A and B are shown apart, each in its own frame.
Chain A
């Protein structure tokens, strides 16, 4: 029983990080109808920015951790908006295949430039948050896991506020519903799309820092697997659907953890892809999504 609960806890914290990254995927898909492959590498950049900032601030202080988090989020937002401006906006009217290939190109560029500049060897992320263990019965909760779960929940709640309670959030929803109509009512699509990218990338940056706090070994290819799995979470929950991303993250995180703790642990990575294939075959709209009608 204890083991089951412990695994559940592990799955929750893993799922929280996947959910955070998945939010970025789902938001961008909602407004632009394409999968931003480079998202997982923005996540990696966030972790590295956090690494450099973390070495400048004193370890274990609240304001130090905040500087690291905010700094990573801000720089990732800028990076995301730059990528959008330079690589995706010129292809706004082009077939989706072109944009997809460009996205793959940007993703690879970030990964391999990272390897050239930072070196491929992993680095140790500085301990910006003090680590402690809480023991309840046989259950051990690490403070890092707590930070991740609470941090993710806070960021998701903040996102929900932005999307549902602000004018810019309303504009985002309008553009994702019908871009032409949004333009007709006076929404500047370019600015909204930039903003969406910035917001999604900021969340990826936050995810990078939280991930690095929990697994303090960062390297330029660290985003590949978590990014792919987060994408699966987004699809699982229904792409374009924000609570869906959170739900997808939870489900995949716990499933992966339970498989990882069993004798089938080597197939852990394959699980994510198997889930993707199953969901796309059985219910392409995702668990919380609605089937879309394609007009020809």
Chain B
């Protein structure tokens, strides 16, 4: 984990060196991610996927006959840092397009800057619908929370037969608040009852108080639309309180630490995500093998897959646009139809969001196992 920033330093030095030697000869793509700090796990994952994609492009001859150069900036998972990082990428590194970010709040921060400078921005995994509403230059390669919420609502009601649900969401994360809202609407419309809604803050370790209240409300399942850091502990403490009902959540659950920290407590729990490495499709398997070869045997998670797809979708648009002009790339991106990605077939809808299937994963025998795929 500490070696990676030095790799960026190397990349930056090489990048600037090549800039001096052969100005304007490379296609410059910028990336801003949370490589350090609280959400480093997601940022690092997405970055690895992106780097793999760029290396693949360059191995295949680059874009428009030129090499692709990736400029990466770290925002340390802190609010306020993304704007400066993106401004630097745009005015100092002269990027033609931007990739980022994993977290909706940081994408929201940077979007006005990219929009104002007419630099197309592709977010790999920000699911809050507001991100693409910031302007016609902002795109995303993943589904949005209203879709994810509806998928989970249907899953909970029909597959889990949970007609009474308790919701335990984070009050300090935009993602959690949004997903909880977008689950509640379709779930209640389908006839489900949200018996109790409790809240917690990121960084909390003790949820017994909230879980005791949920236990008293008598529910069939608990919805935890937060990140794996808290979800694992919530599952453990629920089991310690004698709750045997299943827990389910969204794509924020996906990380190996969920299994490490949760242990047997997360067995029989479910979450929705963007892809599964167990998908037998040849495209997915090739990606998994290439990723493992490049990054020392590490299994790519959804963030890595989305980082990979975002870079390749952008490259595909640049190829179709035939130029590095921002407006032309933007139009090509908006016209993306049927792009075959690792995370499924992606088409841009009118709101520049990806219309694609979600995957439900169940945790069984200490592993993430693919359960079902839900099309839009």
Contacts and interface: CB of A to CB of B under 8 A. Distances in A.
A and B touch in the complex (CB under 8 A): yes
Interface residues of A, number: 42
Contacts of B242: 133, 135, 140
B209 interface: yes
B285 interface: no
B209 A265 contact: yes
A145 to B, nearest CB: 8
Contacts of B213: 3, 261-262
A216 interface: yes
A96 interface: no
Contacts of B206: 10, 14, 215, 257, 260
Contacts of B232: 124, 217
Contact of A215 (B2, B171, B201, B205): B205
Interface string B21-42: 0000000000000001110110
Contacts of B200: 265-266
A120 B40 contact: yes
A260 B210 contact: yes
B2 A257 contact: no
Given A133-B240, A215-B233, A216-B261, A10 B209 contact: yes
Given A135-B242, A265-B198, A121 B40 contact: yes
A11 to B, nearest CB: 8
A7 B171 CA distance: 22
Contacts of A215: 205-206, 233
Contacts of A10: 206, 208-209, 212
B216 interface: yes
A33 to B, nearest CB: 31
A274 interface: no
Contacts of B210: 260-261, 265
A283 interface: no
B281 to A, nearest CB: 30
A144 B237 CA distance: 11
A216 B215 CA distance: 22
A82 interface: no
A135 to B, nearest CB: 6
Interface in B183-242: 198-201, 203-206, 208-210, 212-213, 215-216, 229, 232-233, 236, 239-242
B208 A119 contact: no
Contacts of B216: 2-3
Contacts of B263: 124, 127
Nearest to B232: A217
Nearest to A144: B240
Given A7-B209, A140-B241, A258-B209, A124 B201 contact: no
B209 A122 contact: no
A171 B261 CA distance: 44
Given A10-B212, A266-B201, A116 B2 contact: yes
A268 B213 CA distance: 15
A222 interface: yes
B1 interface: yes
Given A3-B213, A10-B209, A265 B199 contact: yes
Interface in A127-157: 127, 131, 133, 135, 140, 142, 144-145
Interface string A107-124: 000000001110111111
B257 A121 contact: yes
B222 to A, nearest CB: 15
Interface string B124-152: 00000000000000000000000000000
Nearest to B41: A121
B254 to A, nearest CB: 14
A66 interface: no
B253 to A, nearest CB: 14
B201 A268 contact: yes
A64 B206 CA distance: 25
A190 interface: no
A80 to B, nearest CB: 23
B260 interface: yes
Nearest to A3: B216
Contacts of B215: 3, 6
Contacts of A161: none
Nearest to A121: B41
B37 A120 contact: yes
A221 interface: yes
Interface in A11-48: 11, 14
Contact of B203 (A3, A225, A261): A225
A211 B205 CA distance: 9
14 contacts: A6-B212, A6-B215, A10-B206, A116-B2, A120-B36, A122-B229, A122-B261, A124-B260, A135-B242, A140-B241, A216-B261, A221-B203, A261-B210, A265-B198
Given A120-B36, A120-B38, A266-B199, 9 more contacts: A124-B260, A140-B241, A215-B205, A215-B233, A217-B261, A222-B205, A257-B208, A261-B212, A268-B209
The 9 closest A-B CB pairs, nearest first, are A260-B209, A215-B205, A261-B209, A124-B260, A142-B240, A10-B208, A140-B242, A124-B261, A261-B213
